C-alpha cells in the first residue's frame, strides 16, 4: 500500500524520485505509513458511533468472522438484524468484504496451520457454521466477513482502550467455549474441526484479563496433534508457540504441559523439546 501510494504521489508530480532517494526509502515509507494510519484513524473517527463500535468489536474478534459471533458479544447488545445492517454498511464504506462460507472455512484451516504466536495477524472466528446452522441460527447470522485491509483492523484495535479489548476478548472466549462444549476434543470426534475453536479461544483468553486460562487450550491443541497421525506439522509448529509464552508464564508451568504431551505422543518420532526453558 505504501508503494502504491508513493507511485500515486509521483504520478501526480507531488514528489520526485530524487525526493524519495534523498530522504531514503525506509524513511519515506515510514512517513507514508504514518500518513495512511492518520487517514484511517480520521475515517474511523468520522463514522457514526454505532458503526465505529461495531468495527472495533469486529477487529477484536478477528480478521475473518461470522455475524453470529459478533452479535452474541456486541457491546451494545443489539439485535442480529442490526448487527448485519451495521456490517453491510461497513462493507459499503470499504472497511469489510463479504466472503463465502467456503472462504471462511479456508481461513480457519490456514489459521489452524499457523504458529499460535502469529495467529493474531490472521485470526479467524472459531465458530463452526455447520453447528450453528444445525442449531437453527438464522441465515443472516451465518454471513461471513473479512477486513479488506489488515491495516484497518490494526488501527481499529489501537484506537481502543486496553480494558475494552480485554473485556471483548473475554466475552468472545466465553461465547466460543459454550459453542464448542459439544465437541469431544480429546477423542477428536470431528477430525480437524476442533482446531479453529481451540486456536481462537486460546488467543482470546491470552489477551483477556484472565490470560492464564489460555494454557489449557494450548495443551489441548498439542494433545490433539499428538493423537492424530497427520497432525505432526501442527504439533511441531505448536512447540514453537511457547517462545512467545515464556515471557508471560512460569517456565515450570509450561514444562508440565510439554511433559503431558510427550506422554500422549505415541505416533510421532521425536518428543517435544523446549530450548532454554529455564532461562
Give the end-to-end CA distance of the chain in Å, rounded to a whole number: 40
Q: Which three cell numbers stand for residue 108?
A: 480457519
Mean pLDDT in each 10-residue stretch from start to end of the chain (279 residues)?
64 63 64 79 92 96 95 92 96 95 90 74 88 89 94 93 93 87 43 65 88 79 52 48 56 55 44 39
Place of cell 458511533: 49
Question: 48, 40, 88: which is closest to 67 by C-alpha?
Answer: 88
User: Quick one: pLDDT at residue 19?
Assistant: 59
252 burial (CB, 10 Å; 0-12 / 13-18 / 19+) is exposed
Query: What whole-number distance in Å separates Cα of residue 28 and Cα of residue 33?
Result: 8
What's the pLDDT score for residue 38?
85
pLDDT of residue 17: 61
pLDDT of residue 270: 45
H or E segment to which residue 64 belongs: strand 64-66
| Three-state DSSP state, 61 | helix
d(Cα 76, Cα 89) in Å, to the nearest integer?
A: 17
| 234 CB neighbour count, 10 Å cutoff | 20
The full 3-state SS of 144-195, as one line of letters, equals: EEEECCHHHHHHHHHCCCHHHHHHHHHHHHHHHHHHHCCCCCCCCCCHHHHH
Please answer whether residues 192 and 109 qualify as being in contact, where contact means their C-beta atoms are separated by less than 8 angstroms. Answer: yes
Identify the pLDDT of residue 142: 95
pLDDT (0 to 100) of residue 78: 93
Q: Helices 214-227 and 232-240 meet at what angle, rounded to 10?
A: 150
Amino acid at each position: 500500500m505504501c508503494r502504491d501510494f508513493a507511485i500515486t504521489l509521483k504520478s501526480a508530480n507531488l514528489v520526485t524520485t530524487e525526493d524519495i532517494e534523498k530522504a531514503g526509502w525506509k524513511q519515506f515509507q515510514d512517513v507514508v505509513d504514518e500518513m495512511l494510519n492518520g487517514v484511517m484513524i480520521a475515517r474511523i473517527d468520522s463514522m457514526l458511533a454505532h458503526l465505529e463500535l461495531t468495527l472495533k468489536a469486529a477487529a477484536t474478534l478477528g480478521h475473518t468472522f461470522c455475524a453470529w459471533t459478533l452479535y452474541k458479544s456486541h457491546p451494545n447488545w443489539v439485535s442480529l438484524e442490526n448487527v448485519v445492517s451495521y456490517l453491510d454498511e461497513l462493507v459499503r464504506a470499504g472497511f469489510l468484504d463479504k466472503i463465502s462460507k467456503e472462504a471462511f472455512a479456508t481461513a480457519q484451516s490456514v489459521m489452524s496451520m499457523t504458529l499460535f504466536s502469529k495467529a493474531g495477524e490472521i485470526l479467524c472466528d472459531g465458530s463452526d457454521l455447520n453447528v450453528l446452522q444445525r442449531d437453527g441460527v438464522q441465515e443472516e447470522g451465518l454471513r461471513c466477513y473479512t477486513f479488506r485491509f489488515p491495516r484497518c483492523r490494526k488501527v481499529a484495535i489501537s484506537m481502543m482502550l486496553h480494558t475494552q479489548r480485554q473485556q471483548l476478548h473475554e466475552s468472545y472466549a466465553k461465547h466460543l467455549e459454550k459453542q464448542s462444549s459439544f465437541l469431544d476434543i480429546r477423542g477428536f470426534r470431528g477430525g480437524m474441526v476442533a482446531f479453529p475453536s481451540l486456536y481462537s479461544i486460546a488467543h482470546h483468553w491470552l489477551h483477556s484479563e484472565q490470560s492464564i486460562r489460555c494454557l489449557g487450550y494450548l495443551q489441548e491443541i498439542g494433545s490433539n496433534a499428538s493423537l492424530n497421525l497427520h497432525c505432526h506439522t501442527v504439533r511441531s509448529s505448536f512447540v514453537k508457540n511457547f517462545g512467545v509464552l515464556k515471557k508471560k508464564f512460569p517456565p515450570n508451568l509450561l514444562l508440565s504441559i510439554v511433559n503431558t504431551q510427550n506422554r500422549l505422543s505415541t505416533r510421532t518420532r521425536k518428543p517435544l523439546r523446549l530450548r532454554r526453558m529455564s532461562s
